[in-house]
Amino acid sequence: GFSGLEWTVKSSRAEVGPGPNLFSDSPDNAWVDAQGRLHLRITYRGGRWRCAEVVAEASFGYGTYRFHLDSSVDDLGPGAVLGLFTWSDDPVDHNREIDIEFSRWGSMYGHNAQYVVQPEARANIHRFAQARQRQSLHGFRWEAGRVSFESQAGGESAGPTSWTTSSGIPSPGGANVR
């Protein structure tokens, strides 16, 4: 377990979503260290890139989701994405997907973070620049008819980023945090 929860490490033999990507459950890709911190890594083996994803076995529905990061996310390569999100395999309500994402989306310039309530539409997305900080806290509160996001980077110079939307909010129903 990690963070007091039971998790499944995603694995695939062929490319699957999100991405599509090849996922690996190898300890080279996903592990918990002696301090209880989860590590996720993209590796290159056998001529192919392999990603990491962990899926909470429990479904929580409405509530507050918090992610404490202990590494900088502002310098990911242009093809990498760190997604902190909820997902249900049921296509109802766009798979109940609520995202905090860090990426360069193919470019080394511009915003490197976004909050999204799927489907990604103008009213459902807020892009921002995540400051270079080793430690940061990110989260959202999912309520009936509303999702409120907030990110706080460590250090005195980095103030919080927040955004609230009431557009297209999914109902709970089997979504897992990933």
For residue 69 the two structure tokens come to 């990061």
For residue 40, the model assigns a pLDDT of: 96
For residue 159, the model assigns a pLDDT of: 63
Mean pLDDT of 64-90: 92
pLDDT in tens, 15-65: 999 989 999 999 999 999 999 999 999 999 999 999 999 999 999 999 999
> Residue 155: is its pLDDT beyond 70?
no
For residue 122, the model assigns a pLDDT of: 87
pLDDT in tens, 93-108: 999 999 999 998 877 6
For residue 100, the model assigns a pLDDT of: 97
For residue 110, the model assigns a pLDDT of: 75
